[in-house]
Amino acid sequence: MSMKNLFLFSALFLMLMACGSSKEFTAQDDLAYQNLKDLVDSQSLVIISNSASPFASAAFSRVANSNILGPGNNANNIDITTNANKLTIKGDSIQGYLPYFGEQNFGSGGYGSNKTSIEFDDIPKDYVVTHDDQKHAVEIRLKIDDKYRNSEHYDMMITLYPNMKSIIRVQSTTRTSIEYTGRVSRLEDKGE
């Protein structure tokens, strides 16, 4: 293949890839995206997760593969539909209780503690909302401290989609990373 033909083939390939990667959104898609943005702007929402995906280190994988997590679960995907979990944004405060699976450093001040979940109830630092119009997604980034461990801090990224799917990514100062997948909805004012 000559250099000119190679160049034309490469240019054509890139154009096809660019065309295939851009999604055309319908008016209904745009409306659902606007409703999601309005929900996030209201600062009155709740996320309930149905699965957890811990960072699967070799040690965690060995333990998880021993079936300790129950049938159907593995080191990369754990069903938490029967586990209590919730992340609530109400005004400028965020409250959360997320079950944790993974490795933790013992120097974190939590050794011997009966608080193994990720728990917080505070006003976050560096709370930033970003709208990704190309993907029709809303991203919330924040930093927040653990409710019971003064040495534990979380960097969180919450991604929400118009179909109400949610992904919560948590990086900790003392634990391996974990991701939660679930659903977002409007917070009902019934004392929650």
Domains of the chain: 25-186 (2.40.128.410)
Q: Quick one: average pLDDT of 91-118?
A: 78
Task: Please report the sign of the dihedral spanned by the C-alpha atoms of residue 51, residue 167, residue 33, residue 42.
Answer: positive
Query: Are residues 147 and 161 in contact, defined by beta-carbon separation less than 8 angstroms?
Result: no
- What pLDDT is attached to residue 58? 60
Instruction: Give Cβ neighbours of residue 167 (< 8 Å, ≥ 6 apart).
Output: 158, 159, 179, 180, 181
45-60 pLDDT, tens digit per residue, is 999 999 999 986 665 5
- 174 versus 11: the higher-pLDDT residue is 174
- Report pTM: 0.78
- pLDDT over 60 at 36, yes or no: yes
154-191 pLDDT, tens digit per residue, is 999 999 999 999 999 999 988 899 999 999 999 986 54
